[in-house]
A and B are shown apart, each in its own frame.
Chain A
Amino acid sequence: MGGGRVTERYRGLIGSAVVIALLGLWQLVSVTTAAGRLSSSPVAVFLAVPEVLRDGLALQSLYSLQAFVVGMIAAIAAGVLLGLFLGSMRVLTYLLEPSLMAFYITPTIALLPLVVIWLGVGNTSTAFIVFLSAVFPIVINTIAGMRQSDPAWSRTIRAFGGGRLLTFCLADVPGALPEIVLGIRLGIGRGLIGIIVAEMYASSRGLGFLLDTYSRAYRISDLCVVVFAIGIVGFAMVQGVRLFEDRTARWRAS
């Protein structure tokens, strides 16, 4: 559909134009309407940046990053290992997949109050929430990857006399790699939401805490600065994983 070759060039142009237009609209609304005045404006947000930096944006980011990284690494390690294990045997997969799906669908954030009781306010709770949020997409996608790993590869290795472990390492795992990386990408997205919300509720440090503070004080411009900061970090992380994902998927002719 559409113009094809010539119009591709305009993709960046039109996209940027729309974004600029929306920002302009926002600026206009903030100056003219009542609700708009409360919602800050691009200019105000821009001006609020130094103030937020002074408030310690960098430091709080570090706190959040700490807990996030710990939770994510745990989730990736546990998730991939569990996924590989469960995915290697049909029976196990059938047995546990519905339960995993049930956990996946549960808003882990709902468990926040209980987690806080158990682990106290602070980094441990938030890291644990990140872990819970991220581990299930990783496990589920790893299992899916194992399942759709082309049996032709494992057959080839076995035909050359490879034992069970060798087949597993050389055929099943690499075959599942794209799905695993996809799962990690989804996990990062969920983990990000998890850390922010967890900190809003259960911590006195970190970006989520900052958001909560600004929110209560109705300091919307500062709030927006933090939101954009989080957005940029999240975007960068997801893009990074996307690049990696493309690389692993490239050798897949399909």
Chain B
Amino acid sequence: MARVVKVLRLDGPFVLGTLGLIGIVALWQVLVWTGAINPFIASSPERVVREFGVLWSSGQLTSALGASGIEFAVALGLSLAVGCIAGVAMYASTAVEFAFDPIVWFVYSAPIVTLYPLLIIWFGLGRPAAIATGFLLGVVPIVVNTRAGLQSTDRHLLRAVRSFGASERFALLHVVVPHSLPLIVAGVRLAVGRVMIGVVVGEMFGANQGFGYLIAYYGSVVKATDVMVALCTLVVAGIAITQTVWLFEQWCGRWRVRA
């Protein structure tokens, strides 16, 4: 039990944070009761909880989870694959790095959402465009972090290993990769949030399944509570995934010297 508490960092800050969250939710409820917030627009915690049950049993939430989940997985998978390969390529060759740099820059700075109409044309309305949006948003932190992680490898370690006659391959596998792993996983963690947003926004504008669709639909018929339910479920899922990746990131970097 004590070990679980330690690994999951269920300590003071965690308790306070949870209290804070509960506090905000409670504040929300109070403001609704006192009439400061119009529940028609912003709903209220108790309605959200009740409606959650309704939506869950009707299967809407599960099917939305399934639909969005698949899109998220595909988009993230693509981001990981392309991102890692690009990151490694940019690390291995200066020419590639120079060549890809402006592209990476562009994809990072340009508001991807503005390209959305173009994406619809290229990939089709709905799910394909949502996946494309998610991919474009998620690939950049992975590329940037992979390259930075690989480049940040301690030169002293490489020199030490080489002095024993190690081949480049050995150095790569046994020094560069373990050293860069925490940073790469950090990139994945950042990508998770961005992919989620990309997929959901993509769905909002043209899909007929998934959380984005739910949010857009209920928004259009002004059912604030249902919008909130979808939103909250989304946020909880997002936090859960991000935190899991974060835990893995901490494990990968457990040898890091605490400054």
Contact = CB atoms under 8 A, between A and B. Distances in A.
Q: Do chains A and B touch in the complex (CB under 8 A)?
A: yes
B220 A113 contact: yes
5 contacts: A1-B94, A14-B98, A18-B99, A102-B235, A107-B234
A99 to B, nearest CB: 5
Nearest to B215: A110
Contact of B234 (A2, A106, A227): A106
Interface of A: 1-3, 7, 10-11, 13-19, 22, 35, 38-39, 91, 94-99, 101-102, 105-107, 109-114, 117-118, 189, 192-193, 196-197, 211, 214-215, 220, 223-224, 226-227, 230-231, 234-235, 238
B91 to A, nearest CB: 7
A94 B15 CA distance: 9
A227 B115 contact: yes
B53 interface: no
Q: Is the interface of A mostly helix, strand, loop or mixed?
A: helix
Given A95-B17, A114-B227, A211-B117, 19 more contacts: A1-B151, A7-B98, A16-B102, A19-B102, A39-B122, A95-B19, A99-B20, A105-B193, A105-B239, A106-B235, A109-B204, A113-B219, A113-B227, A114-B224, A117-B40, A193-B113, A214-B117, A223-B118, A230-B114
B165 interface: no
Given A2-B93, A11-B98, A220-B121, A95 B20 contact: yes
A105 B227 contact: no
A106 B101 CA distance: 30
Interface residues of B, number: 62
A240 B14 CA distance: 37
Nearest to B92: A1
A42 to B, nearest CB: 14
Contact of A192 (B17, B21, B111): B111
Interface string B95-128: 1011111110010011111110110111000000
A109 B202 CA distance: 11
B21 A98 contact: yes
Contacts of A224: 118
Interface in B198-229: 200-201, 204, 212, 215-216, 218-220, 222, 224, 227
Contact of A110 (B40, B114, B204): B204
A104 B97 CA distance: 32
A123 B229 CA distance: 27
A15 B99 contact: yes
B163 interface: no
Interface in B33-57: 38, 40-42
